């Protein structure tokens, strides 16, 4: 069996590393001359909207998936003429537009922060009157890692934010004081079978995930599974999905979903019976899903901007390195390390030296 991936970054790399043991070969399409998935895939260099590159990817593979949600919709349409692409165009179109996403959450009874569509400065004024300040103005499309959004604190911020984001269609979201940021990662098979990973508790800085912790038995687990379960069933979803949630005094509120493997699930490589990467491959290839049960308690620390010395990471107990083979660059995710321990009481102490290493090399 042969899997094609749009995108050749670290998610494609880790998908490929988990596909090979299943006997599945992997081809990638990416515009970069040597993206980090290249050493472990049959690598095609080409633009995501290049018809010949897409045709070649489809021709070399049985099923296509993608590692990021900003794939051109037209590319997905072209690929779907050649064969199956998972997750499907409906999930992708929804995930590509923050307004569609929030509207779907509302339709499915998945609570969200208050939101309003913003198509022009007058809309923005109205939305602020309705939702109050502070609030967050986000472009409907093409945002990630904190990009494409502005915090509005006072009425004077509105015009500048609208212009700074490019005067494009936006969504205004109420600012929600949260107790925790959580994500639930689920996987759904073509036959409707579903499985849910233990929740991740996430810490961001400058809009970029820094730390994900997973302790089995989180009191919000059941609620989170119910919410993401509605989403995947409605979308007739195939593959891994990540639903980001705020835990607030009003309960869980959905922030956004990613129709792919997710940074907050990297700990599953060691901390779950089957990793999110393997389960995504299993799902899209029509193979039986693997168990999502926890193997101990786990945490993941991102390396942003540059990697610490590998030897310094590898001396830390219960710690597993995942370098992405990427050149250092400010704000870039260049690797991560996971801690996995059967003794949950040890988790915090094990993570601390890893965070110190990450902070020493991180920009900002």
List of residues contacting its own copies (CB under 8 A):
13, 17, 20-23, 25-26, 39-42, 273, 282, 287-288, 290-291, 295, 307, 310-311, 314-315, 317-318, 320-325, 335, 342
Cα separation, 184 vs 242, whole angstroms: 6
Cα separation, 164 vs 185, whole angstroms: 33
Kindly report the number of other CB atoms within 10 A of residue 41's CB atom. 25
Following CA atoms 159, 163, 168, 170 in sequence, which dihedral angle do they give, to the nearest 10 degrees? -40
Output Rg (C-alpha) for the chain, integer angstroms: 20
- Look at residues 37, 41, 45 and name the one whose alpha carbon lies nearest to residue 20: 41
Q: Name the minimum Å distance from CB 54 to its own copies.
A: 22
Q: Name the minimum Å distance from CB 20 to its own copies.
A: 6
Q: Name the minimum Å distance from CB 3 to its own copies.
A: 12
Which residue's CB is nearer to its own copies, number 40 or number 252? 40
Give me the phi and psi of 223, to 5 degrees please. -60, -45
Q: Name the minimum Å distance from CB 17 to its own copies.
A: 6
Q: Name the minimum Å distance from CB 298 to its own copies.
A: 12
Q: Name the minimum Å distance from CB 22 to its own copies.
A: 6
- Look at residues 313, 334, 331, 315 and name the one whose alpha carbon lies nearest to residue 323: 334
Which residue's CB is nearer to its own copies, number 161 or number 354? 354
Looking from the CA of 185 toward its CB, the CA atoms found within 13 Å total 29
Q: Name the minimum Å distance from CB 24 to its own copies.
A: 8
302 CB contacts (<8 Å, ≥6 apart)? 208, 209, 210, 211, 263, 333, 335, 336, 358
Q: Name the minimum Å distance from CB 328 to its own copies.
A: 12
Q: Which two tokens stand for residue 25?
A: 């070969």
Which residue's CB is nearer to its own copies, number 42 or number 220? 42
43 CB contacts (<8 Å, ≥6 apart)? 8, 27, 28, 30, 35, 37
Q: Name the minimum Å distance from CB 131 to its own copies.
A: 44
Cα separation, 202 vs 180, whole angstroms: 8
Q: How many helices (H) and strands (E) does the chain have?
A: 12, 17
Which residue's CB is nearer to its own copies, number 69 or number 318? 318
Which residue's CB is nearer to its own copies, number 23 or number 177? 23
- At 45, is the secondary structure helix, strand, or coil? strand
Which residue's CB is nearer to its own copies, number 320 or number 332? 320
Q: Name the minimum Å distance from CB 340 to its own copies.
A: 8
123 alpha-carbon distance from chain centroid: 30
- 220-253 burial, b at 16+ Cβ within 10 Å, e below that, comes to bbebbbebbbbbbeebebbbbbbbbbbbeeeebb
Which residue's CB is nearer to its own copies, number 5 or number 128? 5
Which residue's CB is nearer to its own copies, number 117 or number 287? 287
- With contact defined as beta carbons under 8 Å apart, do 221 and 197 qualify? no
């Amino acid at each position: 069996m042969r899997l094609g991936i749009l995108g050749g970054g670290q998610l494609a790399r880790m998908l490929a590393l988990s596909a090979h043991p299943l006997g599945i070969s992997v081809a990638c399409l990416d515009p970069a001359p040597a993206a980090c998935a290249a050493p472990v895939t049959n690598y095609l260099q080409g633009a995501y909207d290049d018809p010949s590159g897409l045709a070649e990817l489809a021709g070399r593979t049985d099923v296509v998936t993608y590692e990021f949600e900003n794939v051109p919709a037209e590319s997905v349409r072209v690929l779907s003429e050649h064969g199956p692409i998972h997750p499907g165009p409906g999930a992708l179109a929804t995930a590509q537009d923050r307004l569609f996403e929030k509207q779907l959450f509302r339709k499915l009874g998945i609570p969200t922060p208050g939101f309003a569509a913003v198509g022009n400065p007058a809309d923005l004024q109205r939305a602020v009157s309705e939702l109050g300040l502070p609030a967050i103005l986000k472009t409907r499309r093409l945002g990630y890692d904190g990009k494409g959004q502005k915090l509005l604190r006072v009425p004077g911020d509105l015009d500048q934010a609208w212009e700074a984001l490019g005067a494009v269609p936006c969504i205004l979201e109420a600012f929600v004081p949260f107790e925790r940021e959580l994500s639930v990662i689920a996987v759904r098979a073509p036959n409707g079978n579903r499985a849910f990973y233990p929740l991740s508790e996430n810490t961001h800085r400058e809009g970029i995930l820094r730390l994900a912790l997973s302790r089995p038995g989180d009191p919000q687990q059941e609620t989170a599974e119910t919410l993401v379960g509605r989403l995947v069933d409605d979308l007739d979803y195939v593959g891994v999905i990540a639903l980001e949630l705020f835990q607030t005094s009003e309960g869980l509120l959905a922030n956004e979903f990613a129709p792919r493997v997710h940074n907050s699930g990297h700990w599953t490589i060691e901390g779950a019976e089957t990793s999110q990467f393997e389960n995504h491959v299993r799902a899209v290839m029509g193979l039986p899903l693997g168990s999502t049960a926890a193997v101990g308690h786990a945490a993941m620390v991102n390396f942003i901007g540059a990697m610490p010395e590998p030897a310094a990471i590898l001396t830390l107990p219960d710690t597993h390195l995942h370098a992405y083979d990427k050149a250092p660059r400010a704000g870039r995710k260049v690797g991560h390390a996971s801690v996995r321990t059967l003794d949950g009481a040890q988790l915090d102490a094990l993570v601390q030296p890893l965070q110190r290493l990450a902070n020493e090399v991180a920009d900002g």
